[in-house]
Chain A
Amino acid sequence: MEVSRAVAAAILNSLKSGVVPRVGLEYITVGRRNEIQALLQDVSIIEQGGAAFRFIEGQYGSGKTFLMHALRNHVMERNFVVTDVELSVEKRFVGNRGQGLATYRELIHNMAIHACPDCGALQLILDKWIGSLENEVVQNEGLIPGHEAFDVRVSQKIYRITASMEERVNGFDFGKVLAAYYKGHRSGDTELQKKALRWLYGEYRTRTEAKNDLGVNLIINDDNWYDFLKLFSDFVVMAGYAGLYVCMDELASLYEIPSRVGREYNYNRMLSIYNDALQGKASHFGIIMSITREAMEDPVRGVFSFEPLRSRLASSSYEQEDAVRLRDMASPIIRLDSLNPGEMYVLLEKLSAIHGILYDYTPALGHDDYIYFLKQQYARAAQPESTTPREMIRSYVTLLNLMQQNQDVPKEDILYMQAAQGN
């Protein structure tokens, strides 16, 4: 296994804390072959100008976020702009205290690209866009920066692109703001650039302010933010990227909205997004959302309580329950089962190897030890199928730490002691 010590540390520290690592996920991906194949198929479609929308459904700790992050990292390497948000009480699709706009802001702040993999890539995307157009002028037309025609040619290219966006909903103002950003870049007016960025981040509160600063009649708000995400998906393609990939985690927070009306507003907005993606209204645009089974299928409060979504998302009679253990991977919902014991075994092997790389030793655990550990973990749970990888992995990393830190103690002592204590 070719894992660097830095990546090994990131993986193990995250897993020990019960969170999904941001890097090195491919080294610990076990199982999920069909699910990943289906999601990669979506990515190909998005690259070719299509759109995709998927829910990942599974219990807490089953690996939904893991799968989303693995995919996020993968598409980022494939020249996508990626962004993610964790929905919560303050961040929803729509709300009476600006929760929709808060979601949008988070998404724009969390934009990431290969060269800027964590977040805050918007400015880099804009600068790279302008830079690539300037390069085109240099290479194709032989003009150099400073030449009197150079700015004119770059401006023409910029305005051709921004004008092409005018046909789209709210595209006129979006294009105008991009043009303002370029204007600031050309004239060295960093204030103007900041204003344009502020507008794109959805931080203007009044139209008057936006009109005065940028000459646009529109601001991004709770009602129109999704249109701007679609505009971004078009724009990033023009800026040289493969598309925009959006990851939304913790969709279960919508299920926890106390009022029925509030939930339905949110489900209704989700329906618009779903329809847009699957009816071909969006392009180069992918959305993936994680949700628990209860939050999806509860007929009273879940997504299925909203009939238009239930009728679109519910399993067909061919794959309902466990009549046949076959899953339609083209369905909008990808259901994650718990990893089976064999898969958990291989995951433990991988974690041992990574732990060995991090601390430069060879973990003394063997075949029987893995089996012993897993049997103990399954036996502890009231329902073995409800035992989640997250809980087991946390226990296992603790076990590895103890064994590495106490190499003079026989491994059996630690393994059996830990199993008895349930840690």
Chain B
Amino acid sequence: MNECRYNIPKQYKVDKGMPLEPLLGKIENPKCRRIIETGVESVKWCYHIVDKKGIVNVAELVRESGLSILEIALRRQICPELLTEVFAGLFQRPIVLAYLYADELSLGTFLPAGNAMTGRMCSTDFYPRDVGRMIDIMDYERDTGKSVAQMHERILATIRQQKRVIMIEKAYEQINDRMEDEILAFEFSLENLEKIREDSAFVQAQLRVV
């Protein structure tokens, strides 16, 4: 059984595509099912983190309860909170979801509590997949010797933190966009352009030697 990066014994590579039809068929709300059917291209179960060590094959692995990490490729951007709600409802188990659309990424997670759908969930907005903003789902330094539940708590906290950062960035960008629009409106105003033309004519006259 292949262990994946960071060499954490508890983390196993699954790399298994999931058939969409039976999965999405479980969505009860027809509108919601339509949104997911048209927007989701594929769902791939990438990793499974379990407390038990020394698992020898995938069949044994998938029977173990643990934290599943899924990659969901999208055809278009869908609200990450809706996606997390839907997939949490479908799987009803601890999951980390990475939504991929074009060059953007969003992360979500569901941490169930009790038997019902009353757990905690969190997801970030979409953000560009640049190295500076990548977060590692697995952190060898911090996760060594921790139980899967503790690791999931840490992942939830990291995603919350990322969500906050991205919210602030997006809000700030909106302010900048508004300011930029105001600046451009002034720059291209007839009064401003006329002043620049006059200045230019003045400089042209200065540079000319008669």
Contacts and interface: CB of A to CB of B under 8 A. Distances in A.
Interface of A: 25-27, 29-33, 36-37, 40, 70, 73-74, 77-78, 340-343, 345-346, 349-350, 367, 371, 375, 384
Given A74-B209, A341-B184, A32 B203 contact: yes
A341 B192 CA distance: 10
Contacts of B196: 30-31, 342-343, 345-346
Nearest to A339: B196
Contacts, number: 60
Given A29-B204, A73-B207, 17 more contacts: A29-B203, A30-B196, A30-B200, A33-B199, A70-B207, A77-B208, A78-B209, A341-B184, A341-B187, A342-B186, A342-B187, A345-B187, A345-B188, A345-B196, A346-B193, A346-B196, A367-B188
Nearest to A371: B188
A340 to B, nearest CB: 6
Contact of B184 (A37, A40, A375): A375
18 contacts: A29-B200, A29-B204, A29-B207, A30-B200, A33-B199, A33-B202, A36-B207, A40-B206, A74-B207, A74-B209, A341-B187, A341-B188, A342-B188, A345-B196, A346-B193, A350-B200, A371-B188, A375-B184
Contact of A26 (B186, B193, B207): B207
A346 B197 CA distance: 7
A33 B203 contact: yes
Nearest to B191: A342
Nearest to A379: B180
B204 A340 contact: no
Contact of B199 (A31, A74, A367): A31
Contact of B192 (A30, A70, A73, A342): A342
A371 B180 CA distance: 14
Contacts of B193: 342, 345-346
Q: Chain A at the B interface: mostly helix, strand, loop or mixed?
A: helix
B26 to A, nearest CB: 42
Contacts of A350: 200
Interface string B175-191: 00000100110111000
Interface of B: 180, 183-184, 186-188, 192-193, 196-197, 199-200, 202-204, 206-209
A175 to B, nearest CB: 32
A103 B2 CA distance: 66
Contact of A27 (B180, B184, B186, B204): B204
Contacts of A342: 186-188, 192-193, 196
B187 A26 contact: no
Most chain B C-beta atoms within 10 Å of own C-beta, residue among A27, A40, A346:
A346
B112 to A, nearest CB: 42
Nearest to B210: A77
Contacts of B199: 30-31, 33
A74 B202 CA distance: 14
